[in-house]
Chain A
Amino acid sequence: MTAEQRTGSPTGIDSARQSALADDFDAELRPLLPTALRLAAGMRLDPQDAEDAVQSAALRAWSKRGNRRPGTELRPWFLAIVANQCRETRRARWASVLRFSDPPEVAVASVDTAAAIDLVHALRRMPPRIRLAVVTRYYLDLPFEEVASICGCSVGAAKSRVRRGIQSLSSTLELEEP
């Protein structure tokens, strides 16, 4: 039995070819990471959780890269994986204690205004699918087509979710709808 048969690696692809594919994937993925980290931060509302989610999503994307349809843009595909990973992330308590020897740096230590804290609390209370729509639309400034793609729903459903999100935040933000 060959190594490729045993591990399930595609036969006929030599190491150099794999290396080139890996380089291509890296080059495509890297520019998306700032957006992915912002999305994860908006979904998890914790910097460490956010980084964990993006790391797991990147590994998942790497392992599933063969499933991506040719010609499909990487951004919505990858951000959808990040969004799914954020929903699935459930960290055990001890996992939050045993961290890396070099803890990830955080741009700002914590949210420091009452208004921001209120908004974070409101986001936490929001159903994840609504939060995802709000975050992708108004925090990442994505068009509704891409919001829908990441949410895995129709454009109409994405608009509906965003509308519900605004309604649920209106009291926190003291927004008066027209």
Chain B
Amino acid sequence: MSSNDIERTLRDRLRGAIDPMVPGPKAADRVMDTVAGAASADRIRSAGGSRISRGLGTVLVASLVVLLVGGALGLSLALRGRTLPTAPSSHTNPPLPVPTPSVAPPTASPTPSPSAALATCRSSDLTARFADQSGAAGTLSGDIVLHNVSHTACTLDGYTNLQGVAHGHATQLGVTHDFSGIFSNNGIPPNPRLVTLEPGKDAYVAVAYSDVQSTPTACPSFTRLLITPPHQATAVTMLVPTSNPLTLCGSVAAAMWIDEAPVSSTAFFAAH
């Protein structure tokens, strides 16, 4: 067998063996969607984050999401259909109980610091409101403001868990931690830090999500958000203006995608 024959045989056999394992034609579209999502996130960052930019949420379908939202999706399945007691819709309400998740929301290890001697902020110590929410279609963003209404200082560290409430039903949202990269600095995601919250002071959770509908099914809208602080089992209720409900159309693994940064002592979007 000549060298040419060997090479021809090898080419034919490789095609026969590998061709069936080449992803289908839609794979290229999905890859391009992912790149478009990264480009959109870049534009949001350069624009200061609080402005509207189209196209991010509908296209972020990268494999990394599996690592980030897997736990949240499992929780979503467990909680879907659960009816909450009819609670007054004020952000000064006492915290609503939420079930202990079978898969705990990811939280970071506390960073050792002198503040570690302080108690962790309980849900009853906090109220929540949404600041700097963008109001047009596209990728929306804003800061959730956690206000310490107690008389003592406390600490927060890590990520909150987020659930949406619509028609009395709480639904676990597809929470990711800086999946879009919007909160990163030079590509480095923000590290969870121990935040000391003095009485009367605020801490912030930056969030971003998409309200661009990409499927025939209507996107879910929520008029309340249940925010479970790190290491807590109960949630703080946050009102969302009915004129501008939280509509989540992100197509990352499932609808109801929302990206968040760890709790911070400074507002992310207001600072830009």
8 Å CB contact of B18 from A26, A42, A52, A95: A42
With the chains together, A169 CA to B13 CA distance in Å?
11
Given known pairs A47-B23, A104-B24, A175-B9, the reply for A3 and B48 (CB within 8 Å) is yes
The range of chain A's interface size is: 35 or more
A29 at interface by CB-CB < 8 Å: yes
Q: What residues of chain A lie closer than 8 Å to B3, measured between beta carbons?
A: 177-178
B64 at interface by CB-CB < 8 Å: yes
A123 at interface by CB-CB < 8 Å: yes
In chain B, positions 168-188 with a C-beta closer than 8 Å to chain A are: 184-187
With the chains together, A112 CA to B20 CA distance in Å?
9
Contact segment of B66-74, B87-95, B110-118, B156-164:
B66-74
In chain A, positions 109-158 with a C-beta closer than 8 Å to chain B are: 109-113, 115-117, 119-120, 123, 134-135, 138-139, 141
Of B3, B7, B10, B49, which is in contact with the most chain A CB atoms at under 10 Å from its CB? B10
Let me know if A52 and B38 touch, CB within 8 A: no
- The closest CB in chain B to the CB of A54 belongs to B31
Q: What residues of chain A lie closer than 8 Å to B42, measured between beta carbons?
A: 9, 18, 22
Let me know if A7 and B28 touch, CB within 8 A: no
Let me know if B32 and A33 touch, CB within 8 A: yes
Binary interface encoding of chain B residues 6-42 relative to chain A, with 1 for a CB under 8 A from any of its CBs, else 0: 1101110111111111111011101110111011001
8 Å CB contact of B1 from A100, A112, A123, A178: A178
Given known pairs A3-B48, A50-B23, A173-B13, the reply for A63 and B30 (CB within 8 Å) is no
Let me know if A123 and B17 touch, CB within 8 A: yes
A69 at interface by CB-CB < 8 Å: no
Of B1, B31, B271, which is in contact with the most chain A CB atoms at under 10 Å from its CB? B31
B136 at interface by CB-CB < 8 Å: no
- A residues in contact (CB < 8 Å) with B: 1-4, 6-9, 13-15, 18-19, 22, 25-26, 29-30, 33-34, 37-38, 41-42, 44-48, 50-52, 54-56, 58-59, 62-63, 92, 94-95, 98-101, 104-113, 115-117, 119-120, 123, 134-135, 138-139, 141, 166, 169, 173, 175-178
| Given pairs A47-B21, A95-B67, 15 additional interface contacts (CB within 8 A) | A6-B271, A15-B46, A22-B39, A37-B22, A37-B23, A37-B27, A41-B19, A47-B22, A55-B30, A62-B39, A63-B38, A119-B14, A138-B7, A169-B10, A177-B3
